[in-house]
Amino acid sequence: MAEALRRKLVELDLLDRGKKVVRDGDFVVFPIAVEDFSAVKQLCEEFKCEVVKVEFPEVRPPSLTLHDVLSEKLPPHLLASLPRAYDVIGDIAIIELPEELLPYKELVGEALMKVNSHVKAVFAKAGKVNGAYRVRKLLHLAGENRTVTRHKEYGCIFSVDVASTYFSPRLSWEHKRIASLVKPGETVVDMFAGVGPFAIMIAREVDATVYAIDLNPEAIKHLKINLQLNKLRGKVIPILGDTKEVIFKELKGIADRVIMNLPHSSHLFLDAACAALKEKGGIIHFYTVARDPNHLEQAENLFSSSIPAGRRHIKRILHRRVVKAVAPREWLVVMDAEVT
């Protein structure tokens, strides 16, 4: 549980990396890097832990950071603009580079590869994730000019094209969490499957059937590759197409649970999610983006108001929490709901 919580704190950028994790008897105590404990309190509920006041010893700084490598190569006023975090997918790093650092993009790319010796290619985000295929434009900074890689996550291997498919390494805990909830014999509909991180993880962990739908041909191509790369207990059925059309034509009333990872517009597909569930009902894992204040309440209100009236109703909310920050005061929120 401690390792799972540590991963979550890192994903949410809540772990104070300047302090050491300490043991206190049978407990593990993590240093928190924020004064606002609202996000931490949600984790406390999930992991059955509590916030305590502890003196933490300092840790020695990492042997090498971007600031270290670039301290004598960038003007001092630009060092403060260097991003603290970036995504590493396989051996490809993707960084969000402020406009003022673009003239130094090659320097930043080379420095990032020096800090991470296993990284062979570096790209900068050149736009937001958008469009029906959920991809963003990328700007090559350094290393090999290729976008296909293989990413490892909890024992699974994923073939990913970072330029033409959607994949977030910051959702690794969610992939594992959902897989841990699926019971043998269940049927799952993954409405926006991408290259299959939810579907592959589920089928690797349990003997279940997952219908993995995506509109992006490149995503389905890599999903099929990933079926060959991983040893599965269950079965994954890749389906290329519009998720609403596929469900209403082929998958009505078959699912014990539905996964809806399309945060900015999941609520628009709740009619299809409800149609996919068995007549007696099932579980919906609903991902959305909400803003402070009261982001969890916003997510729940959006979900409840979008459920098709008269056909389905919410029996209970099983789980809700912040997954990660997506912008200042804006959060990716997940809600697990039992629908009858």
Mean pLDDT of 218-240: 97
Q: What is the mean pLDDT of residues 261-267?
A: 94
**What single string gives the DSSP state of each residue in 12-32?**
TT-B-TTB--EEETTEEEPPB
Determine the average pLDDT of the residues in 12-36.
85
Nearest to 144 by CA among 123, 125, 164, 114: 123
3-class DSSP state for residue 322?
A: strand
At residue 275, the pLDDT reads 97
- Residue 34 has a pLDDT of 77
Structure tokens belonging to residue 222: 């890599």
Q: Look up residue 21 and give its two tokens.
A: 């994790």
Query: pLDDT over 90 for what percent of the chain?
Result: 70
List, for residues 197-221, the tens digit of each pLDDT value. Answer: 999 999 999 999 999 999 999 999 9
Instruction: Give the confidence band of 72 by pLDDT, cuts at 50, 70, 90.
Output: confident
| Residue-wise DSSP of 107-149 | HHHHHHHHHSTT--EEEEE-S-SBTTTTB--EEEEEE----EE
Mean pLDDT of the chain: 92
**pLDDT > 70 fraction of the chain, expressed in percent and rounded:** 99
- Which has more pLDDT, 1 or 118? 118
Domain ranges in the chain with CATH number 3.30.300.110: 66-146
* Separation of first and last alpha carbons in the chain: 32
CA angle 20, 48, 295 (to 5 degrees): 95
* Identity of the amino acid at 230: N
Please report the pLDDT score of residue 152 as a whole number: 95
Query: What confidence tens digit (pLDDT) does each residue in 266-278 have?
Result: 999 999 999 999 9
Of the ranges 34-43, 183-192, 294-303, which one carries the lowest mean pLDDT score?
Answer: 34-43
Q: Check pLDDT > 70 for residue 62.
A: no
Mean pLDDT calculated for residue range 59-85: 84
* CATH superfamily entry for domain 168-339: Vaccinia Virus protein VP39 (3.40.50.150)
Phi/psi for 101 (5° steps) reads: -95, -5
Q: What is the pLDDT of residues 141-162, one digit of tens each?
A: 999 999 999 999 999 999 999 9
How many angstroms separate the CA atoms of 187 and 178, rounded? 13
- Is the pLDDT at 23 greater than 90? The verdict is no
C-alpha atoms less than 13 angstroms from C-alpha of 207 in its C-beta half-sphere: 2
Q: Where, residue-wise, is CATH 3.40.50.150 in the chain?
A: 168-339
Angle, vertex CA 325, rays to CA 175 and CA 212, nearest 5: 30
Q: How confident is the model over 86-123, as pLDDT tens digits?
A: 999 999 999 999 999 999 999 999 999 999 999 999 99
pLDDT confidence band for 10 (50 / 70 / 90):
confident
Task: Please give the backbone phi and psi of residue 130, each rounded to the nearest 5 degrees, phi first.
Answer: -155, 180
**CA-to-CA distance for 199 and 235, rounded, in angstroms?**
9
Q: How many CA atoms lie within 13 A of 292 on its CB side?
A: 10
- Per residue in 120-141, pLDDT tens? 999 999 988 888 888 999 999 9
Residue-wise DSSP of 158-225: EEEETTTS---GGGHHHHHHHHHHPPTT-EEEETT-TT-HHHHHHHHHSS-EEEEEES-HHHHHHHHH
Q: Please state the separation of Cα 262 from the chain's center in Å.
A: 11
Residue 49 tokens read as 């832990």
Distance set, CA 103 to CA 93, 128, 203 (Å): 19, 21, 46
CATH class of 66-146: alpha beta
pLDDT at residue 61 is higher than 70: no
- Asked if the bond preceding 293 is cis, omega within 30° of 0, the reply is yes
